[in-house]
Chain A
Amino acid sequence: NAGVTQTPKFQVLKTGQSMTLQCAQDMNHNSMYWYRQDPGMGLRLIYYSASEGTTDKGEVPNGYNVSRLNKREFSLRLESAAPSQTSVYFCASRDKGIQYFGAGTRLSVL
């Protein structure tokens, strides 16, 4: 049972570089989410996707784009990374109100 799989687990970027964080779930869930976790803050929603083909902004969307490629996959893209985007990123999918999280991606932007 893989659940929610995120890649990569760790990444170091230089300011201005771009990268895509990958997320896939094998539970056939419709809704998927991207959160960021910063010290002293709760999990904050970046973007979400209620179903395949739809995406919407969350609380902190600036500097990010997303793509819901199919029902399984929901990717998060940083077009031009900034130090303020140094964070731990979690992907989640939802079923009957409960969210199932991936293991997270630790991103450092220098």
Chain B
Amino acid sequence: ILNVEQSPQSLHVQEGDSTNFTCSFPSSNFYALHWYRWETAKSPEALFVMTLNGDEKKKGRISATLNTKEGYSYLYIKGSQPEDSATYLCAFPNYGGSQGNLIFGKGTKLSVKP
């Protein structure tokens, strides 16, 4: 079974702080790495799909990098705002099986205090 690890489990920052967290995944048979944002009482929403080593994606104040050779991705948030409070999930496609589903990490729960 593929394993996707995220750290830290939770993070508390002040408004205006920049922060980052990590997703580790199997470096062999890499297809893609997904980041999802999940606000409390809402459904997870896709942030980024990253496919190439060295890829960097950006959406407003949020950006992500990818290292497929060593099997990790970083998510950065610049100048955190209270509305950034959410759980950030990374996921790895299970194309090795027949499912085509995503293997999710347990997430990093970010709380941004005003």
| A2: Cβ under 8 A from any B Cβ | no
The listed residue with most A CB atoms (<10 A of its CB), out of B1, B44, B93, B101, is: B101
* Contact between chains at A48 and B43 (CB < 8 Å): no
Q: A42-B89, A42-B107, A43-B89 are in contact. Are A101 and B43 (CB under 8 A)?
A: yes
| B49: Cβ under 8 A from any A Cβ | yes
A104 to B44, CA, bound (A): 10
A44 to B34, CA, bound (A): 16
User: What DSSP secondary structure best describes chain B's contact surface?
Assistant: loop
Number of interface residues of A (CB under 8 A): 24
* Contact between chains at B106 and A41 (CB < 8 Å): yes
Contact with A along B28-50 (1 / 0, CB 8 A): 00001010000000111110010
Q: A42-B106, A43-B89 are in contact. Are A58 and B101 (CB under 8 A)?
A: yes
* Contact between chains at B4 and A42 (CB < 8 Å): yes
Contact with B along A8-35 (1 / 0, CB 8 A): 0000000000000000000000010100
| A76: Cβ under 8 A from any B Cβ | no
* Contact between chains at A48 and B42 (CB < 8 Å): no
| A94: Cβ under 8 A from any B Cβ | yes
* Contact between chains at B43 and A97 (CB < 8 Å): no
A98 to B102, CA, bound (A): 9
* Contact between chains at A102 and B43 (CB < 8 Å): yes
Residues of B near A97 (CB, < 8 A) are 32, 34, 49, 93
* Contact between chains at A43 and B104 (CB < 8 Å): yes
With A43-B44, A45-B99, A97-B34 known, 19 other A-B pairs at CB within 8 A are A31-B100, A42-B105, A42-B106, A42-B107, A44-B104, A48-B99, A48-B100, A48-B101, A56-B98, A56-B99, A94-B100, A97-B32, A97-B49, A98-B46, A98-B49, A99-B34, A99-B91, A99-B102, A100-B46
